[in-house]
Amino acid sequence: MDHDKIEKLTQELLIELGEDPQREGLIKTPERVARAWEYMSRGYRKNVKDVINGALFEENAHGMVIVRDIEFYSMCEHHLLPFFGVAHIGYIPDKKLLGISKIPRIVDMFSRRLQLQERLTQQIADTLFETLKPIGVGVVMEARHMCMQMRGVQKSQSITTTSAVLGDFHDDAETREEFLRMISKPV
């Protein structure tokens, strides 16, 4: 990422908005914006292999593995406004387990890119399915979109829910129901 270019573009944006980029509150804004975008887009500079970092384990485990309430933050590719919420992820292993901390790291890798919630949900499910070759995978994401809440329709209480189910989570209604029950239980 070219920090100097992002700073220059931010300064130009401030001018186009009718602001004075030299006033006290805005002098360091272009620099801050460049650093913020570097952080918010760090998912582009990560890949699945590095995120997993060898944390795949051969194990004779067949019960459902669920990590729920994984916080995530992303940016809508249509308006460059944030959307954020929680992801609930489950899989049924078939001789391979993934270190559980790697699941939120995969969510983070894909969410720290310009995104659509629907694509984000599918990318996470596809990655787990391809990496683990499990019996099934389920991903449910719930998010609040600032593009809907602070502009446009301005529905501040709206929550968008998306899902991606593969393998037995797709093919077997009982497995899917078990997953949905488990992610909706209070802690």
Question: Which are the catalytic amino acids?
Answer: 76-79, 117, 145, 147
The tokens for 44 are 């582009």
Half-sphere exposure (CA, 13 Å, Cβ side) for 184?
6
